[in-house]
Structure 1
Amino acid sequence: MNRIMASLNRLWRLVMTGFCFALFGTGGLLLSLVWFNLLLLVQRNRTKRRRLARRSISASFRFFLGVTRWLGVLDYRIQNLDALRSERGCLIVANHPTLIDYVIIASVMPETDCLVKGALLRNPFVSGVIRAADYLINSEAETLLAASQHRLAQGDTLLIFPEGTRTRSGEAITLQRGAANIAVRCQRDMRLVIIHCSEHLLDKKSQWYDIPPKKPIFSVNVCERVQIHDFYDAHQQEPALAARQLNRHLQHRFTSGLQSLSGINDASALS
């Protein structure tokens, strides 16, 4: 009987996962074609329009995650959420195990900025969202540092996934140096966010229909603030050297944090 119930539950999650993908794509198109165009007409101030667009995206993500949780597709827990919501003028740096990490973080940070891959501008379901939110594009290398400095100086938070792509299951985390370079050259602190998913879901090697045997649970741990002055003194160090040292610290911190979260989840599963 238990085996039959488990099979039925997995089938239910497969069907509902397909529904949620369709819901996400449809929502992205509706936001782009209807709501964001309406904002262009009613709000001429670019800064206010960008703020409204980001708040709309965050509200949409909260609705989407609420649906996935209600349908039993997945669940998520965020520790130390108040610290994340209170951040201003710093980088939010997170690991990237699954396709919906950005969705989870942006759902609880209504006005966060984000550094995204230029390739996503060719995706019809999210390109309008990226443009309306005026996210920074990582392929615009000539202006990226100056734009990051300007936005951080005006109090924006900048969400970055320094791996550059989703983590490959079973492989060690490898960070690109972009986030560390921005932190050092803009002299801004970082807030670390470590994300762990209890099952293989929407990772680098998975398709949407690869449904795990158990409902996935996301553990999002909002960790300490990394003080940039601990790694960089403009009077004594070269920025490139400081960025390498900071990057090594981030890589070690993500690795140890994930091992800790994995151990906690394994212990919970056995208890």
Structure 2
Amino acid sequence: MPMSPSSVSASARFYASLLVTGGVFVVLDAGSFVLRHTLPDGVRRRRVARRWLCTMARVAVRYLHAAGILDCDMAELGAIAQRRDLVLVANHPSRLDCLILASALPHMVCVTKASIWERGVLGSTLRTAGYVRHDTLLKIIGPASQALGEDCQLLLFPEGTRSRAGAEPGPIQPGFAAIAQRTRADVQVVLIETPSPYLSQGWSFLKRPPLPMRYRIKLGPDFSAPKRDEASGRALIDAVEDCFKKSSLFGREDLEHS
């Protein structure tokens, strides 16, 4: 069955957006390369690299909006954009999550999978910006504490991996609570709501989803730094898990009918 003109147009815009976004990442890596060779390793270089990453993420997100690929409401993030020494915990429906959040949060440092650090594109940028490699909990507490000590916001996806489209969030890993206890940092829940399956677990990078992809970023509860005891840590983990489940139940339906 032949494709309709509107479907052909959507496919053309989608695949063109992949090329443009790929070009943005190449420019991002090139800028990071320049920073590594012009500034000595240290706090200043990491701060400049984070601003550069935020700028290029913003370019990518604004382009996707203009091209009709992405429709993302992240106005609520303005309330925390300048807060520092803050642990952010977010659900993880898509690989686009970090890009979207980085475009709005210039002081954000993300705990990222170790496999991303080995990639030719992006891995070196993450190292330059002081992002934290996700190995074992004992190995990430030191770098995470350093990032928070540099007045950053530390983003973690406590599910540990992306969820599948239409599925409930996965079980919550306790690492974020241990970091908040260790650093005495407050914890802000970030809820990413989308009906789009694109780049969820099992979705191919090249498979076009329905367009535009609708996202809404909401702020959940803001928890004070937990006490350094097992009960306080467990209560925080349970509260965050409950937030994720409620958002999964109600947010997707709201977006589909908006």
Same fold (TM over 0.5): yes
Deviations 1:133-156 (A, max 9, x none): 121111164442122223323321
Aligned to 2:191: 194
Q: Distance in 2 between matches of 1:140 and 1:30?
A: 31
Is 1:144 the counterpart of 2:140? The answer is: yes
User: Cα distance, 1:67 vs. partner?
Assistant: 1.2
User: Cα distance, 1:62 vs. partner?
Assistant: 0.8
Aligned to 2:227: 233
User: Cα distance, 1:214 vs. partner?
Assistant: 4.2
Q: Distance in 2 between matches of 1:92 and 1:206?
A: 26
SS of structure 2 residue aligned to 1:218: strand
Aligned to 2:52: 56
1:26 to 18, 23, 47: 23
How does 1:98-137 map onto structure 2 within 5 Å? 98-137=94-133
1:250 to 220, 240, 244: 240
2:249 to 236, 256, 259: 259
Deviations 1:149-205 (A, max 9, x none): 233233211011111111122332122121122122322211111111132222112
Aligned to 1:93: 89
Q: Distance in 2 between matches of 1:71 and 1:266?
A: 20
Aligned to 2:158: 162
SS of structure 2 residue aligned to 1:158: strand
CA distance 1:114–1:44, shift in 2 (3 Å):
same
- From the two aligned structures, give the one with the greater helix fraction: 1
User: Cα distance, 1:104 vs. partner?
Assistant: 0.5
Larger radius of gyration: 1
Unaligned stretches of 5+ in structure 1?
none
Aligned to 2:214: 217
Which stretch shifts more, 83-92 or 145-154?
Answer: 145-154
SS of structure 2 residue aligned to 1:145: helix
Q: Aligned letter for 1:206? A: W
Instruction: Note if contact 1:95-1:254 (Cα within 8 Å) is conserved in structure 2.
Output: yes
Unaligned stretches of 5+ in structure 2?
none
State the TM-score, normalized to the length of structure 1: 0.85
User: Cα distance, 1:249 vs. partner?
Assistant: 1.1
Q: Distance in 1 between matches of 2:235 and 2:85?
A: 22
Instruction: Note if contact 1:18-1:208 (Cα within 8 Å) is conserved in structure 2.
Output: no
CA distance 1:185–1:40, shift in 2 (3 Å):
closer
CA distance 1:37–1:79, shift in 2 (3 Å):
closer
Instruction: Note if contact 2:180-2:187 (Cα within 8 Å) is conserved in structure 1.
Output: yes
Aligned residues: 256
Percent identity of paired positions between Structure 1 and Structure 2 = 23
Q: Distance in 2 between matches of 1:157 and 1:98?
A: 20
Instruction: Note if contact 1:195-1:219 (Cα within 8 Å) is conserved in structure 2.
Output: yes
Which stretch shifts more, 119-128 or 42-51?
Answer: 42-51
Deviations 1:5-45 (A, max 9, x none): x943333332332222233333323332x322322333236
Q: Distance in 2 between matches of 1:37 and 1:18?
A: 27
Q: Distance in 2 between matches of 1:93 and 1:9?
A: 38
Is 1:180 the counterpart of 2:183? The answer is: no
